[in-house]
């Protein structure tokens, strides 16, 4: 049998190899496009915003005048928001992950909870805003407070925290659990003394990434009706407040061109806030990874 | 692990150069002073081997002796490991395949390979076999049909699968999958077939079938087979090379190598004293 | 911890025996699973809360506006004083325009990047680029919105002068950039999970890397790739801030992408940032639109789930 004409094969070879080389370049360019966009985006924000980013900007409240506008209320507001979101979402998220990984038996209820979590992760953030508006702001009468916004944000990032915590808990070798049971430890003792200490770096890394998503989220805050012109700092979790992305949204919408620079300066503050959070996550990951 | 007698080393290096004299038959591969490193670690040391057309050449040796590395050098699959470096030459049909100008795609069109574990593509049996001809430009359905049938017959699996050519190849047993892989290799009408421990993942009956197949394929192809199974080498090969620590210790007619090995280490290995 | 030296001639076993008596160990063993179960239930309650809220308020909306008019109406004019019109099609059209443009940008680029990372890039390059893509995915959408409005739109306007300041192209492209890392990363995962032995098999037949990728790896990883696209599109449908800043607020039922549009999400933002009083029809309309949006994304997510289950390859 001789179906394959070797001469023909050799003739086609150079074309095929050229095509491979060409597409390699195309694939590389597509990858570089994504990276270049990130570079341009950051460069734009720095060039537009850096001249407005100074001590006054950090120390002033917002204003009708671009040169007087500051981000104090929003920055402090975002920190307050985190103070609610972090404990609520961490406790609920890690608790749910522990239940699903350590206690849940394989039954329909468990399957339903899992399925529900993965679907909840796909619900648009603005829909969570509608939930927060109805339940927390109106039904529970919490108003447009730090607490109402914080609870809404906690529910929004809950699926992310559960899933990443589950992964971290799943990575704990079963031998460790067995060793603990082998010494007569109970299930809860094993979880508290063996599973959690092992999994906590992974859990925290995932949680911080989820929290940084909450810092940057705008849509739910808009729907809840968080004000943008705030000339005071929150005094407690029931105070009204504003947050970084809300403030940026407000500035970005204003027609005066100077406010574009103010918005860019606000974005720089937001990005620095996020970089700090992420650095903490990387620090935790590196510090604890070495131990095992 | 093994302990090698150092005093034999000198005598051995002269053996390495002992290339088999072949009066009538042509050689397909001539390996000359081949050295190969993975990073800093040398995996092949000064290999010299001539492989003869339409022979079954077996390569035996303990794990880590470089036998797999060597066979993967023959179609340059070894280059998939990014840190590999080679010196020396492998002449295949008058051209040095280690020359950077030698296109690997061209080489691999002529030198087929069967792997340790069956690795059919997650496609239908038909598409598995037709893959090679298709990438080489054959589109005619009738010709493809013929190639598929002939290749499957050649790999002695046509009767098992002729009624389910369009079912996924993953539905077959391990032994059947391996013969599909051999058929896939035959479909591009190679000159040489490299087999890297092709039966190590198979049960005894499937192994027997593949061994019988090798005997048949020998009529039309030159076959180089790596095996850790000495009985298998003795059963199916014409020539056998014994590798140890990246060197060729002995290369001879299979009958001779297994009955009266000239090197002590070969004798130790085939009598099961190490490895 | 218990010391291994025997204190007061008591053995460790005796100490353990004594500890058993007091401690709240048994109580914790009983109560913790229940507490943890309750935390797991919160996610279920959230879903119930969302569905219940949306249905309840949407129902209220449909006591005021005919559901048929809502579903097939081609005009969305809630602020038109005496004769408001609540036909949702213009908002859906706006959403689909932006989503389609985003998909046109993100799908080819995302898959190309995934192919580069999975099939061509060295380990070192892959380990450098993947975290950068994660950063790109972590940029807040408000930042992307600002970027679309102040950078991408002016560029488009220089190229095509007829494009308005608010349009569908600019937010579409930027949403595409936003979902690109998601497609790239999930598709890369799907392609990397195709075993290497299959690549080797194809290469050993004389294939180029391109042929291996297009004819073997892509078909093998197709379920993962498709579901990543569906998830990313679902994200694009629900994206809010980019379209609120750069898309405009003119809902129109047409195919024009150079003019101001409004998406479902942007409408909710417009009403929320304004002074639509509690209890007005406009107030309830955001729930109806939110419910419509929820149905869209839910269907996409279920589709993604179905694809990855149904076409799962066993290697």
pLDDT in tens, C154-164: 999 999 999 99
Q: How much is the average pLDDT of C29-43? A: 91
Query: Do C262 and C221 lie in a common domain?
Result: yes
CA B113 to CA B86: how far, in whole Å? 21
Query: Do C159 and C304 lie in a common domain?
Result: yes
The pairs formed by B76-84 with CB atoms below 8 angstroms and a separation of 24 or more are: B76/B104, B76/B107, B76/B108, B77/B108, B77/B113, B77/C200, B77/C203, B77/C204, B78/B36, B79/B104, B80/C200, B80/C203, B81/B38, B82/C122, B83/B38, B83/B39, B84/B36, B84/B37, B84/B38
Half-sphere exposure of B30 (CA within 13 A, CB side): 14
Average pLDDT, chain C: 90
Query: Do C305 and C165 lie in a common domain?
Result: yes
pLDDT at C20 over 70: no
pLDDT for A238 equals 86
C254 in contact with B, Cβ within 8 Å: no
Query: Do C17 and C154 lie in a common domain?
Result: no
Residue C115 lies inside a defined structural domain of this protein: yes
Assess contact for A188 and A198: CB atoms under 8 A.
Answer: no
pLDDT for C22 equals 55
- DSSP line for A108-172: HHHHHHHHHHHHHTTS-HHHHHHHHIIIIIIIT---SBHHHHHHHHHHHHHHHHHHHHHHHHHTS
Restricting to A residues 199-218, those with a Cβ less than 8 Å away from any Cβ of C are: 209, 212-213, 215-218
B103 in contact with A, Cβ within 8 Å: yes
Residue of chain C minimizing CA distance to A33: C109
Size of interface A-B (CB pairs under 8 A): 34
Count H helices and E strands in chain A, helices first.
12, 0
Q: In what order do the strands lie in the sheet with B222-226?
A: B111-114, B192-196, B222-226, B56-60, B239-244, B247-253
Chains contacting chain A through 3 or more C-beta pairs under 8 A:
B, C
Q: How much is the average pLDDT of B188-217? A: 91
Residue C48 lies inside a defined structural domain of this protein: yes
Query: Do C130 and C36 lie in a common domain?
Result: no
Query: Do C231 and C304 lie in a common domain?
Result: yes
Nearest to C95 by CA among C282, C232, C239: C239
CA C169 to CA C167: how far, in whole Å? 6
Categorize the per-residue pLDDT at C1 as very low, low, confident or very high, splitting at 50, 70 and 90. Answer: very low
Q: Which chain B residues touch A21 with a CB distance below 8 Å? A: none
Residue C1 lies inside a defined structural domain of this protein: no
Query: Do C125 and C272 lie in a common domain?
Result: yes
Residue C3 lies inside a defined structural domain of this protein: no
Q: Which chain C residues touch A116 with a CB distance below 8 Å? A: 43-44, 47
Between the ranges A215-229, A244-258, C102-116, where is the mean pLDDT highest? C102-116
Q: Which chain C residues touch B120 with a CB distance below 8 Å? A: 201
Query: Do C119 and C34 lie in a common domain?
Result: no
Assess contact for B215 and B225: CB atoms under 8 A.
Answer: no
Query: Do C59 and C91 lie in a common domain?
Result: no
The alpha-carbon gap from A3 to the nearest alpha carbon of chain B, in Å, equals 7
pLDDT at C241 over 90: yes
Q: Which chain A residues touch C300 with a CB distance below 8 Å? A: 122
CA A45 to CA C139: how far, in whole Å? 12
pLDDT for C12 equals 80
Q: Which chain A residues touch B130 with a CB distance below 8 Å? A: none
pLDDT for B19 equals 46
* Phi, then psi, of C28 in degrees rounded to 5: -60, -45
* Phi, then psi, of B113 in degrees rounded to 5: -140, 140
If you compute the radius of gyration of chain B from its CA atoms, what whole number of angstroms results?
Answer: 19
Categorize the per-residue pLDDT at A289 as very low, low, confident or very high, splitting at 50, 70 and 90. Answer: low
Contact C141 A218 (CB under 8 A): yes
Query: Do C169 and C287 lie in a common domain?
Result: yes
Of the partner residues A48, A135, A188, the one whose CB lies closest to the CB of residue C53:
A135
CA C207 to CA C201: how far, in whole Å? 9
Contact C47 A95 (CB under 8 A): no
What ipTM is given for this predicted complex? 0.91
pLDDT for B7 equals 40
The alpha-carbon gap from B150 to the nearest alpha carbon of chain A, in Å, equals 8
Q: Which chain C residues touch B138 with a CB distance below 8 Å? A: none
Of the partner residues A1, A2, A12, the one whose CB lies closest to the CB of residue B137:
A12
Q: Which chain B residues touch C197 with a CB distance below 8 Å? A: 115, 117, 119
Q: For testing the chain C interface, which of B80, B119, B181, B193 should be mutated: the one with the most C CBs within 10 Å?
A: B119
Categorize the per-residue pLDDT at A184 as very low, low, confident or very high, splitting at 50, 70 and 90. Answer: confident
C314 in contact with B, Cβ within 8 Å: yes
Q: What is the DSSP letter of B103?
A: -
Residue C237 lies inside a defined structural domain of this protein: yes
Residue C189 lies inside a defined structural domain of this protein: yes
Q: How much is the average pLDDT of C92-96? A: 96
A49-67: pLDDT as tens digits: 888 888 888 888 887 777 7
Contact C204 B121 (CB under 8 A): no
Greater confidence (A229 vs C313) lies with A229
B148 in contact with A, Cβ within 8 Å: no
C219 in contact with B, Cβ within 8 Å: yes
Measuring CA to CA, how many Å separate C8 from each of A261, A273, B139, C4, C5?
75, 57, 90, 12, 10
Domain housing C168: 85-310
The alpha-carbon gap from A225 to the nearest alpha carbon of chain C, in Å, equals 6
The CATH number for C255's domain is 1.10.3720.10
Assess contact for C257 and C101: CB atoms under 8 A.
Answer: yes
pLDDT at C311 over 90: no
pLDDT for B275 equals 56
Q: For testing the chain C interface, which of A124, A156, A223 should be mutated: the one with the most C CBs within 10 Å?
A: A124
Contact C25 A125 (CB under 8 A): no
Chains contacting chain C through 3 or more C-beta pairs under 8 A:
A, B
Size of interface A-C (CB pairs under 8 A): 249
Measuring CA to CA, how many Å separate C201 from each of A186, A269, B174, B185, B217?
50, 52, 16, 9, 20
Residue C78 lies inside a defined structural domain of this protein: no
Q: Which chain A residues touch B133 with a CB distance below 8 Å? A: 3-4
Q: How much is the average pLDDT of B12-32? A: 62
Assess contact for B105 and A16: CB atoms under 8 A.
Answer: yes
C66-87: pLDDT as tens digits: 999 999 989 998 888 788 889 9
Q: For testing the chain A interface, which of C111, C153, C272, C274 should be mutated: the one with the most A CBs within 10 Å?
A: C272
Q: Which chain A residues touch C245 with a CB distance below 8 Å? A: 249, 252-253
B182 in contact with C, Cβ within 8 Å: no
Q: Which of A239-253, A275-289, C184-198, C220-234 has the lowest mean pLDDT?
A: A275-289
pLDDT for C314 equals 62
Query: Do C18 and C154 lie in a common domain?
Result: no
Query: Do C38 and C93 lie in a common domain?
Result: no
CA C11 to CA A66: how far, in whole Å? 76
Instruction: Tally the domains of chain C.
Output: 2
Residue C77 lies inside a defined structural domain of this protein: no
pLDDT for A1 equals 52
B135 in contact with A, Cβ within 8 Å: yes
């Amino acid at each position: 049998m001789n179906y394959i004409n070797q001469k023909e094969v050799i003739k086609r070879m150079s074309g095929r190899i050229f095509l491979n080389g060409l597409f390699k370049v195309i694939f590389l360019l597509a990858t570089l496009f994504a990276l270049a966009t990130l570079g341009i985006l950051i460069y734009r924000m720095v060039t537009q915003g850096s001249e407005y980013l100074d001590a006054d900007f950090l120390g002033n409240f917002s204003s009708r005048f671009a040169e007087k506008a500051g981000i104090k209320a929003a920055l402090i507001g975002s920190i307050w928001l985190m103070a609610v979101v972090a404990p609520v979402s961490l406790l609920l998220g890690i608790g749910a992950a522990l239940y699903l990984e350590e206690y849940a038996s394989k039954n329909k209820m468990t399957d339903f909870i899992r399925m529900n979590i993965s679907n909840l992760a796909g619900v648009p953030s603005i829909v969570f805003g509608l939930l927060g508006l109805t339940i927390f702001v109106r039904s529970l009468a919490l108003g447009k407070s730090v607490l109402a916004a914080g609870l809404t944000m906690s529910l929004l990032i809950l699926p992310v925290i559960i899933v990443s915590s589950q992964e971290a808990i799943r990575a704990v070798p079963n031998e460790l659990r067995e060793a603990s049971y082998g010494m007569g430890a109970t299930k809860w003792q094993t979880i508290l003394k063996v599973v959690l200490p092992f999994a906590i770096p992974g859990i925290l890394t995932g949680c911080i990434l989820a929290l940084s998503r909450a810092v940057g989220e705008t849509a739910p805050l808009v729907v809840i009706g968080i004000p943008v012109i705030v000339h005071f700092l929150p005094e407690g979790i029931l105070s009204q407040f504003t947050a970084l992305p809300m403030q940026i949204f407000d500035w970005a919408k204003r027609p005066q061109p100077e406010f574009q620079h103010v918005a860019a300066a606000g974005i720089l503050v937001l990005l620095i806030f996020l970089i700090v959070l992420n650095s903490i996550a990387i620090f935790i990951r590196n510090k604890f990874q070495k131990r095992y | 692990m093994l302990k090698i007698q150092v005093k034999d080393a000198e005598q051995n290096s002269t053996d390495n150069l002992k290339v088999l004299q072949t009066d009538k038959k042509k050689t397909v591969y001539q390996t000359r002073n081949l050295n190969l490193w993975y990073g800093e670690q040398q995996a092949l040391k000064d290999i010299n081997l001539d492989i003869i057309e339409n022979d079954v050449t077996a390569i035996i040796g303990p794990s880590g002796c470089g036998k797999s590395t060597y066979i993967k050098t023959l179609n340059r699959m070894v280059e998939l490991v990014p840190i590999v470096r080679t010196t020396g030459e492998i002449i295949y049909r008058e051209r040095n395949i280690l020359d950077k100008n030698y296109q690997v795609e061209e080489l691999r069109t002529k030198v087929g390979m069967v792997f340790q574990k069956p690795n059919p593509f997650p496609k239908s049996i038909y598409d598995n076999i037709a893959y090679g001809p298709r990438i080489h430009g054959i589109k005619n359905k009738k010709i493809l049909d013929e190639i598929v049938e002939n290749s499957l017959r050649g790999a002695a699996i046509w009767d098992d699968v002729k009624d389910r050519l369009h079912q996924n190849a993953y539905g077959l047993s391990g032994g059947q999958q391996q013969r599909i892989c051999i058929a896939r290799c035959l479909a591009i009408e190679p000159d040489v077939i490299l087999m890297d421990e092709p039966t190590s993942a198979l049960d005894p009956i499937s192994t027997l079938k593949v061994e019988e197949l090798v005997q048949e394929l020998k009529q039309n192809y030159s076959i180089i087979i790596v095996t850790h199974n000495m009985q298998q080498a003795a059963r199916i090969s014409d020539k056998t090379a014994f590798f140890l620590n990246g060197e060729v210790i002995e290369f001879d007619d299979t009958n001779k190598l297994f009955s009266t090995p000239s090197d002590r280490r070969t004798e130790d290995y085939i009598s099961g004293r190490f490895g | 911890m218990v010391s291994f030296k025997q204190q007061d001639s008591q053995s460790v076993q005796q100490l353990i025996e004594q500890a058993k008596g007091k401690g709240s160990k048994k109580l914790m063993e009983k109560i913790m699973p229940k507490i943890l179960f309750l935390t797991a239930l919160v996610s279920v309650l959230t879903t119930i809360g969302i569905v219940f809220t949306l249905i309840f308020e949407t129902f209220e909306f449909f006591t005021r506006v005919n559901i048929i008019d809502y579903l097939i109406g081609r005009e969305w004019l809630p602020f038109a004083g005496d004769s408001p019109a609540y036909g949702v099609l213009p908002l859906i059209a706006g959403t689909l325009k932006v989503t389609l443009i985003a998909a046109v940008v993100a799908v080819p680029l995302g898959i190309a990047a995934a192919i580069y990372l999975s099939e061509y890039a060295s380990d070192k390059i892959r380990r450098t680029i993947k975290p950068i893509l994660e950063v790109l995915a972590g940029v807040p959408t408000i930042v992307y919105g600002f970027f679309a409005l102040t950078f991408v739109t002016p560029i488009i306007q220089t190229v095509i002068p007829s494009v308005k300041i608010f349009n569908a192209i600019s937010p579409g492209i930027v949403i595409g950039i936003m979902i690109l890392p998601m497609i790239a990363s999930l598709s890369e995962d799907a392609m990397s999970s195709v075993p290497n032995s299959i690549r080797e098999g194809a290469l050993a037949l004389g294939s180029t890397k391109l042929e291996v990728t297009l004819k073997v790896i892509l078909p093998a990883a197709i379920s993962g790739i498709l579901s990543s696209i569906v998830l990313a599109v679902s994200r694009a449908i629900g994206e809010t801030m980019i379209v609120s800043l750069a898309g405009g607020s003119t809902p129109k039922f047409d195919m024009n992408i150079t003019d101001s549009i409004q998406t479902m999400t942007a409408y909710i933002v417009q009403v929320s940032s304004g002074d639509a009083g509690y209890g007005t029809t406009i107030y309830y309309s955001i729930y109806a639109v939110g419910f419509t949006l929820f149905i869209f994304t839910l269907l996409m997510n279920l589709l993604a789930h179905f694809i990855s289950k149904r076409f799962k390859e066993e290697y």
